[in-house]
C-alpha cells in the first residue's frame, strides 16, 4: 500500500516542451536541446513522459533523452527516457519514466537550480518529433 502524503497535499503541474524532429531526433549523435533552464519555483521533477507525433515512425529507431540537474555537460542525471517509436500508439499514453527514488534529492530544484535536456547518440528518427511533458511536484510555497 502506498504511503499517503503527509501535511498539505503536493501540487503537481506539467511543463510541456516540444522536441523537434529536425535538429534533434534526426541526428545520430549527442545533442543538447536545453542547456540551462530555471524551473521558476521550488519543486521536484517527478516524471517525464514523451508523447510522439506519429505511430511507429522509423521502426527500430530509438533515442535516449536525459533530464539533468544543472548544465548539459554535467553528470547529474535525474532521469533517462528511452524512446523507441516502433512500439508506440498515436494518442496512447506515450513513453514514461519516473525519477528513481534514489535520485529524490537530485530531482529537487531550488530557486538557484537549473535543468537541461540532452540526448545520447541514437538511431535517427525518420518522421517524428513530439512533446516532452515534465511532471513537477511541489508543496504549497508557504510551507517550503
Span 75-106, pLDDT tens digits: 788 888 888 766 566 656 677 888 876 778 88
In eight-state DSSP terms, residue 105 is: H
Task: Report residue 128 CA to chain centroid gap.
Answer: 17
Rounded to a whole number of angstroms, the distance between the first and last alpha carbons of the chain is 27
Using CA atoms, how far apart are residues 2 and 119, in angstroms rounded to an integer?
A: 33
Give tens-digit pLDDT for 15-53: 999 999 899 988 888 899 999 999 888 899 999 988 887
The pTM (predicted TM-score) of the whole model is: 0.81
| Domains of the chain and any CATH numbers | 15-139 (2.60.120)
Read out DSSP for 6-47?
A: PSSPPEEEEEEEEE-IIIIIT-SS-EEEEEEEE-SSSEEEEE
Amino acid at each position: 500500500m502506498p504511503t499517503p502524503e503527509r501535511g498539505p497535499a503536493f501540487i503537481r503541474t506539467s511543463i510541456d516542451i516540444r522536441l523537434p524532429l529536425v535538429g534533434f531526433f534526426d541526428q545520430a549523435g549527442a545533442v543538447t536541446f536545453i542547456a540551462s533552464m530555471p524551473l521558476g519555483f521550488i519543486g521536484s521533477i517527478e516524471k517525464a513522459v514523451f508523447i510522439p507525433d506519429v505511430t511507429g515512425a522509423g521502426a527500430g529507431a530509438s533515442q535516449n533523452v536525459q533530464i539533468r540537474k544543472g548544465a548539459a555537460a554535467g553528470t547529474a542525471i535525474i532521469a533517462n527516457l528511452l524512446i523507441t517509436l516502433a512500439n508506440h500508439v498515436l494518442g496512447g499514453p506515450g513513453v514514461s519514466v519516473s525519477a528513481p527514488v534514489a535520485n529524490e534529492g537530485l530531482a529537487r530544484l531550488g530557486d538557484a537550480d537549473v535543468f537541461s535536456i540532452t540526448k545520447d547518440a541514437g538511431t535517427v528518427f525518420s518522421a517524428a518529433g513530439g512533446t516532452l511533458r515534465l511532471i513537477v511536484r511541489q508543496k504549497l510555497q508557504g510551507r517550503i
